[in-house]
């Protein structure tokens, strides 16, 4: 392979150093690295990469600017489509999105589109945010509130933020209602700061506020206001982006023992409430020395890596299929292994045992083998008879998936809910059963990805615009 074809790898901190804190693992490209990487792009006439990006960034154009060293041009280009580039550059599963379709993938290694996107967003932040002039000129919105029409967005995760940003740019007056104390959804309470620093989340949300979006926190819609209340307050259309925040449990004996957490509780205590800084911060977390995270998605891996950083000595992932079926991103699995997380594959916990104080002290597991592919296309795990064994553990984090947040749906019976709790919408317009009420993100898809939620938010924004134009 000629030198130019070799993809620039992401500079990162050493495993030993990084498990001592919650700072970012990846360091980002230098200007030289970014330009060299950008020059690998073939500037395809029919770029396939764009088809892999749910918000349709003009990827070759963005990369062309970078190759020329015009980083401002590049970030402006990306932001036309994507209000959260520094976030996407960090957490998008690029390997299954844009980079999967990059023509260079067939020849070896695709262009590192995500890394480049991260680079330009960070470059903009470090070179321009201190300049008031730049902020006023580049970031203010000439259209702000021009239409004089109010729209309510429920939930401030990637779906809600994207929908709000697009609508604000079109000239609508947008208010986001968020139940937690800070905006961002999973970006705030779920994904840990060592993958996505809180400074980055703050910065990109600030950008969306600068577009004219008003964010009201501590507002649990369904309890404090109903959808009808919002219509009565003259919001002409509503977007629901309440996410998949309902934790699933396995319903096995001992799951309510102390030190058995849902991943949502474990991660919210740490990431939103900063329990890793206890007692400086008041919210406690009890994390032992031998921790098991159950599951194999990003959520399980994040939980395991957080446990390491809280000082656990032995951290395991327990998963009932094999490594090949693990849904987490490859990079996360690799990072977790580098940091010392052990994989217990083809293993299923079936019971937890208690010590005299009601805390978990042991798990009983069984071994599995893989059978025929199931509905998801992955091979079905089958228990092996008499394969039970016991494991000493003192903390368990259950990360086997989340379902759509039911609260608002239950308090609004007119909304139609499908079998797994997903909100039912029109596939094209994303409109719900209630006229003028649209929805997108994890609430309609079940737990998915940041970029898919953003794609849905974008689509809903244009549907809302159409809906209001027709009125």
Partner 1 sequence: MFEILVNRELAPGIKLLEVKSPDITKKVKPGQFIVLRINEKGERIPLTVADKHPERGSLDIIYQEVGKTTRELGCLGKGEFLLDLVGPLGKPGEIAKYGTIILIGGGVGIATLFPYIKAFKKAGNKIISILGARTKELFFLEKEIENLSDEFYITTDDGSYGKKGFVTDLLKDLTEKKIDLVLAVGPLVMMKAVRQITKPLKILTWVSLNTIMLDGTGMCGSCRVTVGDEVKFACVDGPEFQADKVDFDELIFRNQRFSKEEAISLNIYNEKCGNKRCPKN
Ligand X SMILES: Cc1cc2nc3c(=O)[nH]c(=O)nc-3n(C[C@H](O)[C@H](O)[C@H](O)COP(=O)(O)OP(=O)(O)OC[C@H]3O[C@@H](n4cnc5c(N)ncnc54)[C@H](O)[C@@H]3O)c2cc1C
Residues 20-59 that bind partner 1 (CB under 8 A): none
Out of ligand X, ligand SF4, partner 1, none, what residue 453 binds, judged by CB under 5 to 8 A for its kind, is: ligand X
Out of partner 1, ligand SF4, ligand X, none, what residue 43 binds, judged by CB under 5 to 8 A for its kind, is: ligand SF4
Q: Is the CB of 275 or the CB of 343 nearer to ligand X? A: 275
Please give, one letter per residue, the 3-state secondary structure of 409-450. Answer: HHHCCCCCECCCCCECCCCCCCECCCCCEEECCHHHHCCCCH
Q: Is the CB of 91 or the CB of 393 nearer to ligand SF4? A: 91
Out of 43, 228, 249, 389, the only residue in the binding site for partner 1 (CB under 8 A) is 249
Are the beta carbons of 279 and 385 closer than 8 angstroms?
Answer: no
Q: How far is the CB of 45 from partner 1 (least distance, A)?
A: 47
Q: What is the CA radius of gyration of the chain?
A: 23
Query: Measured between alpha carbons, how far is 105 from 95 in angstroms, rounded to an integer?
Result: 10
Distances in Å between the alpha carbon of 293 and those of 300, 306, 350, 381? Answer: 6, 10, 14, 18
- Sign, CA dihedral 184-188-191-192, equals positive
Out of 62, 78, 86, 159, the only residue in the binding site for ligand X (CB under 6 A) is 159
User: Is residue 267 part of the contact set for ligand X (CB under 6 A)?
Assistant: yes
The interface region with ligand X, picked from 12-20, 60-68, 201-209, 297-305 by CB under 6 A, is 297-305
User: Is residue 140 part of the contact set for partner 1 (CB under 8 A)?
Assistant: no
Out of 57, 111, 312, 408, the only residue in the binding site for ligand X (CB under 6 A) is 408
Are the beta carbons of 450 and 91 closer than 8 angstroms?
Answer: yes
Out of ligand X, ligand SF4, partner 1, none, what residue 102 binds, judged by CB under 5 to 8 A for its kind, is: ligand SF4
Tokens of 369: 């083998």
Minimal CA–CA distance to 8: which of 114, 85, 155?
A: 114
Residues 203-222: x/- map of binding to partner 1 (CB under 8 A)? Answer: --------------xxxx--
> Residue 387 half-sphere exposure, CB side, CA atoms within 13 Å?
14
Q: How far is the CB of 20 from ligand SF4 (least distance, A)?
A: 29
Out of 44, 246, 370, 424, the only residue in the binding site for partner 1 (CB under 8 A) is 246
User: Is residue 154 part of the contact set for ligand X (CB under 6 A)?
Assistant: yes
Write out the residues near ligand SF4 by the rule CB under 6 A.
41-44, 47-49, 53, 55, 57, 59-60, 82, 88, 92, 94, 97-98, 102-104, 111, 113-114, 117, 451
Q: Is the CB of 160 or the CB of 212 nearer to ligand X? A: 160
Out of 33, 162, 268, 303, the only residue in the binding site for partner 1 (CB under 8 A) is 268
* Contacting residues toward ligand X, per CB under 6 A: 91-93, 154-160, 177-180, 185-186, 190-191, 219-222, 241-243, 245, 267, 298-299, 302, 329, 405, 407-408, 441-443, 447-451, 453
């Amino acid at each position: 392979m000629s030198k130019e074809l070799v993809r620039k790898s992401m500079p990162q901190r050493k495993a030993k150093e990084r498990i001592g804190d919650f700072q970012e693992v990846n360091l980002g490209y230098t200007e030289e690295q970014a330009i060299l990487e950008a020059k690998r792009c073939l500037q395809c006439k029919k770029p396939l990469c764009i088809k892999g990006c749910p918000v349709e960034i003009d990827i070759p154009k963005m990369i062309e600017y970078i190759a020329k060293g015009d980083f401002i041009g590049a970030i402006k280009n990306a932001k036309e489509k994507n209000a959260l580039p520094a976030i996407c550059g960090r957490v998008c599963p690029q390997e299954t999105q844009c980079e999967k379709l990059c023509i260079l993938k067939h020849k070896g290694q695709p262009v590192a589109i995500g890394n480049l996107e991260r680079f330009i967003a960070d470059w903009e932040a470090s070179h321009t945010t201190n300049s008031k002039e730049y902020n006023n000129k580049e970031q203010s919105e000439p259209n702000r509130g021009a239409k004089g029409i109010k729209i309510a967005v429920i939930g401030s995760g990637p779906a809600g933020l994207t929908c709000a940003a697009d609508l604000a740019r079109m000239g609508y007056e947008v208010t986001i209602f968020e139940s937690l104390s800070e905006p961002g959804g999973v970006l705030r309470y779920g994904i840990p700061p060592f993958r996505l620093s809180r400074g980055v989340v703050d910065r990109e949300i600030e950008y969306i506020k600068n577009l004219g979006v008003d964010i009201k926190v501590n507002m649990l819609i369904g309890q404090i206001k109903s959808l009808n209340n919002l219509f009565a307050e003259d919001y002409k259309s509503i977007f629901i982006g309440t996410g998949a925040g309902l934790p699933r449990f396995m319903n096995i004996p001992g799951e309510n023992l102390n030190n058995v957490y849902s991943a949502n509780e474990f991660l919210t205590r740490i990431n939103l409430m900063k329990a890793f800084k206890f007692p400086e911060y008041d919210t406690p977390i009890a994390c032992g020395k031998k921790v098991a995270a159950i599951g194999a998605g990003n959520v399980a891996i994040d939980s395991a890596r957080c446990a390491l950083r809280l000082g656990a000595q032995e951290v395991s992932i327990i998963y009932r299929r094999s490594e090949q079926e693990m849904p987490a991103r490859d990079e996360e699995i690799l990072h977790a292994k580098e940091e010392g997380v052990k994989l217990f594959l083809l293993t299923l916990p079936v019971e937890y045992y208690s010590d005299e104080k009601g805390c978990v002290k042991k798990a009983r597991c069984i071994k599995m083998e893989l059978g025929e592919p199931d509905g998801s296309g992955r091979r079905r795990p089958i228990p092996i008879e008499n394969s039970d064994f016991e494991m000493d553990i003192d903390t368990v984090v259950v990360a086997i998936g989340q379902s759509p947040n039911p609260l608002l749906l239950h308090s609004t019976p007119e909304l139609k809910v499908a079998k797994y709790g997903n909100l039912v919408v029109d596939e094209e317009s994303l409109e719900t059963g209630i006229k003028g009420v649209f929805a997108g993100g994890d609430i309609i898809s079940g737990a998915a990805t940041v970029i898919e939620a953003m794609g849905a938010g974008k689509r809903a924004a244009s549907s809302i615009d159409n809906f209001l134009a027709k009125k």
